[in-house]
Structure 1
Amino acid sequence: MKAVDDSSVPLLDVIRSLAFVGDLAMGQPTDHSPRAAWITGQLAHESGASKAACSRAMAVALLRWSGCTANAPEFAQLFGDDVSGRKALLAMQSSGSSFRSGTRNKGSAFLSLSRIHCEVSGDIAGQLGLDDDTEFALRHLFESQDGTGAPDGLRGDQVPMAVYMASLAGDLDIFNRLYGFDQACRLIGERAEVLYPRELADVVLAHARQWLAALDNDPTLSGACSLDANFADRTTSLEILADVIDLKLPWMTGYSRQVAQLARNAARQLGLDEMRQQRLYRAALIHGMGRASVPNMVWDTPGRLAESSWERVRLAPYWTGRAARQIGSLAGEAEVASYAYERPDGSGYFREAKDANFPVEGRILAAAAALVALRAARPWREAYSEAAAGDMLKAEAAAGRYDLDAVRALVDKPRSTTAKSSATPSAGLLSEREREILRWISLGASNKQVAQKLSISPSTVRTHVESVFRKLDCSTRAAATLKATQLGLL
């Protein structure tokens, strides 16, 4: 039997999970990326691409939106509702990039948002162990045929063919769904030689009706993926998915890892066998998948939510549970994860499940998630001390809102809450001051706020931030956070 802390899972299941989270964050149906990946595979094959190139293009299509949790805070600043803002951009009937058109009056937003998204997408590819060509494509997702794209203004043959193919497939799926087949073809024709090469667009237009009919007649085709053979026997760490989920809200940096560690320790103390401990640990890592469907402005709201906002929050664990339909070996974990906000007295969501219908793993997860949240600062309050958080959770358990045994296992005999790092940190990589500043900026603090907290000048903070970025080989806060978390520096 594998060790209980083994978080290695099939690589393709993590890629599919990232696609699911990306579709939620983009305001798209949760089968959008799988459908686009299938169409991409057909397009690559019809274009005479090699088997390896076909697989690469499909992987790019599945991971196209993997970086969108990284720039959610910036999208929220620009659009208010980051999810609806992205959805509106993708729906724009423009002859060029709807992303560029939709941000035209917002300064350098197109470039800065693209840079964050692409840098994180490329880093994800690197951490998943994908090849250099796939990583390069994901670092240039918003480049275009005419050179007006981002982040580097590549044009023509400089842009990876996989980027063009994924873009075409995504446009076909979205425009056909929203505006019908004829209008979808017209829009793709208008974008040819602007966003993608004419010859590729012509291949899509020649086969689009056939491909869409095949998908509509048998939706399971989008699950059939030539990547299965290419990625067979390849695994990756599930922590990368947890870290990408947490990027959406800076103040949740490291949250999923901490919940997973606490939940597993409590399960061990309660006598659950190793298989159940491992399932719970993995479920805790992914329990925030559905959070991507809810705008940041809702999560950042202090106090009581409006009823419409509350309904969106209630659906977050529902979407986590729905992920089980798409992510293969993680289906059982996704089901457990969907209980993260249920309460034994029936006051939780989304099921309003009561004790008899509430698996013990779900009860432990719910209590662990609440305890980590209480111990951490939020935009509207300071963190509670360990003692205060424990007392509050015990009081809630006494009132029937959490499992009392689970709470006691979490609070009375706490074990290490340090999240397992997927890589051994290099002790000398960052200085202590650099790590301290990185911790603050990873939680969303501006340079000015960090300067005030540490009683140093903003210019000193800026110098340290530049040094951190240089040492971590990145240029954005989100990428630095993701890399530092993977290295165990946060």
Structure 2
Amino acid sequence: MTADEARLSPLRVFDAVKALAFIGDLSMGQPTDHSPRTAWLAARLAHAAQLDAAACDTVRETSLLRWSGCTANAGGFAELFGDDVQVRGAMLENRSGWAKPLEGRGDVGALLAPLAQIHCEVSGEVARMLGLARETERALRHIFESWDGHGVPAQLAGEAVPFAVFVVGLAGDLEALGRAHGVAAALALVAQRSETRYPARLVAIAAQHAHEWIAELDRATPGELDAALATPAMQQTTSAELIADVIDLKLPWMTGFSRAVAATAAQCCARLTADPAAPLRVYRAGLIHGIGRAAVPNGIWNATTRLPESAWEKVRLVPYWTARAGKQAGALNEAAELASQAYERLDGSGYFRGAREAALTLEARVLAATVAWVALRSARPWRAALCAEEAARQLHDDVAAGRLSGEVVDALLADSGVTAPRPAGGGTPGARASAQGSSQASAPLSAREIDVLRAISRGASNKEAARALTLSPSTVRTHVESVFRKLECSTRAAATLKAAALGLL
């Protein structure tokens, strides 16, 4: 089975949205039901405010995708605060002292505005790629605007702001603050934000109904939440590649990694079994195996020295969170269960379960070996990418030690000696060539613009891209501006997301 064949299996938009909501909640340092609970409260608030059915649907969709841009600006939060996950949880829950790391560095709002721009642009693009209504996309592109005009990114005020923004913002505050401080305290904080963050009439409605709504919400089952939140637009189908791309936005050096794992694993699996469904299962698992990565601060991922045990404990929980995402994301449950075995080893030395050979299916063995292979062939902050021969040697060492399957490793490396796909090219050699042929024909970018885009999508500055491509910084800047104009975006993260969808990375 080729990667193109694997992509043909449809996924309900609602299940993709729930997976993206899970990733967003992890990124925000929140319980993984924060976004669904926010959406439920927002729907009640919208109905009580007498919004029509279409507006209520916009509120539901916006609530679930509100944090879908969080992986894209994680690096910026890490640079400003150190721990990108912890600080966003502190901000959302109004914990005192969250801005202390910014003391003496200028206006807090000005420092955070570029990060908000990235977030808004990416989340709006996610809605567009999912085929949701223009109203949902517009609300997400302005999700941090305020009633009084002091929000971002466009400083819109009052009626100029999509009304869903106020409904979702108030519902989100009620959910997070109510959980952290109690409903009464949450309502007091919401009241302080009346006529600044959101209009007074919404605050009055929340004050009247909040206690009964939250009590009812606490009694709701996951099935009841799903029934209350699924909109007609979210009954359409999509593919899981968007989830993979959002996952990989957290770390520029991971650009294309999940797609490369998926494509490589599917091809390897097809060599080992006659079951036509097996490569599809492995492909989808490869796309989403990194969901849990959102729960780990970027500072840990970017460390260039040996991790302390406390950091390793967070890393070991990555596949646990991936498994949990499947429980929440409906049709992705089977794929997430398989994906959560990506770091298991036959001798029980892997994580998070410490599963041994008898418990690991062929598909799990394929995924584990593929993740290891693609990672070894990729550059990391602590080492350069390994050449194919050295990466193959390390895999064979793991086979000899009883950690990886020899059958799988042989199949993985079979096609062309030890030459195999690298994520820097976006997948397997065949898939990459096909993608380049089709995407370059349809994309408006020149070959040199694509080269520059690939460099900056992996975190290179203009100067670094210039050195790598033997261009002047001014030429790179001109290409970047042209890429942004042609792709209709203004941030590198949004350009990366669009380029991944076009098969350019």
Distance 1:103 1:307 in 2: 32
Give TM-score, length-normalised by structure 1: 0.95
Deviations 1:322-360 (A, max 9, x none): 112211111100100000111111111000110011122
Distance 1:71 1:4 in 2: 30
Match of 2:177 among 175, 178, 181: 175
Match of 1:56 among 44, 55, 58: 58
1:5–1:143 Cα change, 3 Å: closer
Deviations 1:8-57 (A, max 9, x none): 20010000000000000000000000000000111111111111111110
Distance 1:288 1:423 in 2: 28
- State whether residues 215 and 222 of structure 1, in contact with CA within 8 Å, keep that contact through their aligned partners in structure 2: no
Give TM-score, length-normalised by structure 2: 0.92
Which sits farther off after the overlay, 51-60 or 393-402? 393-402
Q: State the number of aligned residues.
A: 487
- Compute the displacement of 1:221 (Å): 6.6
Matches within 5 A, 1:88-487: 88-92=90-94, 105-106=107-108, 108-220=110-222, 223-228=225-230, 230-231=232-233, 233-413=235-415, 416-417=428-429, 418=431, 424-427=438-441, 429-487=444-502
Distance 1:5 1:478 in 2: 23
Distance 1:282 1:272 in 2: 18
Distance 2:168 2:176 in 1: 12
Letter aligned with residue 80 of structure 1: G
Deviations 1:239-293 (A, max 9, x none): 0110000000000000000000010001100014111211111011000000000
- State whether residues 425 and 488 of structure 1, in contact with CA within 8 Å, keep that contact through their aligned partners in structure 2: yes
1:191–1:225 Cα change, 3 Å: farther
1:102–1:126 Cα change, 3 Å: farther
- State whether residues 260 and 281 of structure 1, in contact with CA within 8 Å, keep that contact through their aligned partners in structure 2: yes
Deviations 1:178-231 (A, max 9, x none): 111211110010011110000011111111001110122234376234443514
- State whether residues 262 and 368 of structure 1, in contact with CA within 8 Å, keep that contact through their aligned partners in structure 2: yes
Distance 2:239 2:222 in 1: 27
Deviations 1:124-146 (A, max 9, x none): 11100011111000100100000
Letter aligned with residue 261 of structure 2: V
Letter aligned with residue 141 of structure 1: I
Distance 1:106 1:448 in 2: 28
Match of 2:31 among 21, 29, 32: 29
1:173–1:259 Cα change, 3 Å: same
Letter aligned with residue 218 of structure 1: A
- Compute the displacement of 1:69 (Å): 0.3
Letter aligned with residue 282 of structure 2: L
1:423–1:149 Cα change, 3 Å: farther
1:141–1:302 Cα change, 3 Å: same
- Alignment-derived partner of residue 424 in structure 2: none
- Compute the displacement of 1:238 (Å): 0.9
Identity over the aligned pairs, expressed in percent? 51
- State whether residues 239 and 422 of structure 1, in contact with CA within 8 Å, keep that contact through their aligned partners in structure 2: no
1:104–1:179 Cα change, 3 Å: farther
Which sits farther off after the overlay, 5-14 or 129-138? 5-14
1:284–1:112 Cα change, 3 Å: same
Letter aligned with residue 230 of structure 1: P
- Alignment-derived partner of residue 425 in structure 2: none
1:260–1:195 Cα change, 3 Å: same
- Compute the displacement of 1:109 (Å): 2.0
1:152–1:107 Cα change, 3 Å: closer
Distance 2:79 2:457 in 1: 17
- Compute the displacement of 1:426 (Å): 4.0
Q: Unmatched 5+ residue regions in structure 2? A: 421-427
Which sits farther off after the overlay, 32-41 or 386-395? 386-395
SS at match of 1:377: coil
- Say what the alpha-carbon RMSD is for the aligned residues: 2.3
Match of 1:9 among 8, 11, 25: 11
Q: Unmatched 5+ residue regions in structure 1? A: none
SS at match of 1:425: helix
Letter aligned with residue 121 of structure 1: S
Deviations 1:345-396 (A, max 9, x none): 1111000110011122111111111111111111222111222212221221
